[in-house]
Amino acid sequence: MDANVRVRVRLPDGTPAAGASIWGVNHDAWVHAQRELRAVADLDGAYSFPDPLAGHPGDRYTFRASHTDPDGREWLGESYERLRERRAFTIVLVEVPSPSAPVGRGSFGRAPEAPAWSRP
């Protein structure tokens, strides 16, 4: 079995998110042994991490991806994976509303905020 983990990042219409930033964090490690993975998706919107389980405890990871399209729109996505069970998966991004976007019904007068992990 291939020890690499392949992450694909796509926009909702299936278009590859070339250049998307990808992060992965191991949830099973103690603080001193926690492993953080970082990469940039290739032209096909994918990246293969060399065996992230080698020498690190546990197999529970959260992978997050972010992408800015040519029109300046921000996109985010997340996937929680057990790497012993899945070695390839896709993160489908959702658009982050801009602060100046019109507010829809049911929002109580506020635009939805991006998740805390996505803000600088």
pLDDT at 8: 96
Domain 5-96 class in CATH? mainly beta
What is the strand order of the sheet 46-49 is part of? 46-49, 5-10, 88-92
pLDDT at 29: 66
- pTM equals 0.73
pLDDT per residue rounded down to tens, the chain (120 residues)? 457 889 999 999 999 999 999 998 887 766 556 678 899 999 999 999 887 777 666 778 889 999 999 999 999 999 998 887 778 899 999 999 877 655 554 444 444 455 555 544
